[in-house]
Amino acid sequence: MRNNPFSLSLSVCQRKYALDLLDSVGLLGSKPVATPMDSTIQLTTESGDLLPDATVYRALIGKLLYLTITRADISFAVHKLSQFLAQPRTDHLAAAHRIVRYLKGDPGRGLFYSAQSEIRLQAFSDSDWGTCQDTRRSTTGYCVFLGNSLISWKAKKQQTASRSSAEAEYRALADTTCELLWLSQLLRDLHIKVTGPANLYCDSTAAIHIASNSVFHERTKHIEIDCHIVRDRLRAGFLNLLHVTTDNQLADLFTKALPPKTFKMLMSRYAFSSLFLPA
């Protein structure tokens, strides 16, 4: 046991809950799909016909929201479908059923926390500019790791429309920085010493220049002042702001529906556990 790297590790999943959900929806015998959301379909508030009973859709989304506690891979899809709770339509329900069919492929997938991981915060921040067909707002996505273990993530539509992709990326950076600050303080309260400054990865060179170069701020006064928390924390040495290629942007999982090949590649980069799948 002493030489076993899994002996002091922890795996958290909601397999029983996922199987019960499959059974309640009547999809326990369905064929699994490779991704939680079809990347070729653009859902809007007018997609499909109105459902005669909206409670069915709302109840299903509520159950899926609870499942996102351990299933980060469905977070974006559930977040997207949560926007249609007021007047759900047939296409929205079909998309929700697709998430359930995706769960069928590996209902026991969960989070894996290794005892051998370095105690250091690192995060990936991304945004998808103006992709909401109804409001043209951007989507913020980020994921935070403690060493190699995923501890926090979010997919959320931004509160205001951005006039450029750099502005949308910078808003996402600000949200991620605030999350890093909160987690850093939480670890400090728990008397856990974190190694070095946090590493924050972003695939937008424009957003990195805005944070790093004061000259660029003269051109970005239309961005709210609170977004400049990124630059303040960068100067204070709290974080390192690093560029990452789009292919290695792990936060893409939380900003858009991805094609199967890209989705599978990104999933392989996360330390998810699948203890119930055959070896």
- pLDDT of 145 reads 96
Task: From 175, 160, 136, select the one nearest 254 (Cα to Cα).
Answer: 175
Q: How is the chain classified by DSSP, letter by letter?
A: -TT-TTTT-EEEE-HHHHHHHHHHHT-TTSPP-SSSS-TT----TTSSPBPS-HHHHHHHHHHHHHHTTT-GGGHHHHHHHHTTSSS-BHHHHHHHHHHHHHHHH-TT-EEEE-TTS---EEEEEEEETT--TTT---EEEEEEEETTEEEEEEEEE-SS--SSHHHHHHHHHHHHHHHHHHHHHHHHHTT-PPPSSEEEEES-HHHHHHHH-GGGGGG-TTS-GGGGHHHHHHHTTSEEEEE--GGG-GGGGGTS---HHHHHHHHTTS-EE-TTS--
Query: What domains appear along the chain, each with residue ranges and CATH number?
Result: 10-110 (no CATH), 118-244 (3.30.420.10)
pTM of the model: 0.90
Distance CA 139, CA 74 (A): 15
Q: What is the pLDDT along the chain (279 residues), one digit of tens a residue?
A: 344 544 578 899 999 999 999 999 999 999 999 999 999 999 999 999 999 999 999 999 999 999 999 999 999 999 999 999 999 999 999 999 999 999 999 999 999 998 888 899 999 999 998 888 888 899 999 999 999 999 999 999 998 888 888 888 888 999 999 999 999 999 999 999 998 899 999 998 888 887 777 665 555 555 655 557 888 888 889 999 999 998 899 999 999 999 999 999 999 999 898 888 775
φ, ψ at 197 (rounded to 5°): -70, 160
Query: Which two three-digit tokens encode residue 91?
Result: 């296409």
Cα 89 from chain centroid (whole Å): 25
- pLDDT of 271 reads 86
Amino acid (1-letter code) at residue 145: F
Distance CA 161, CA 154 (A): 18
Cα torsion angle, 82, 84, 85, 91, sign = negative
- Who contacts 165 (Cβ-Cβ below 8 Å, separation ≥6)? 127, 129, 204, 206
- pLDDT of 105 reads 94
- pLDDT of 2 reads 40
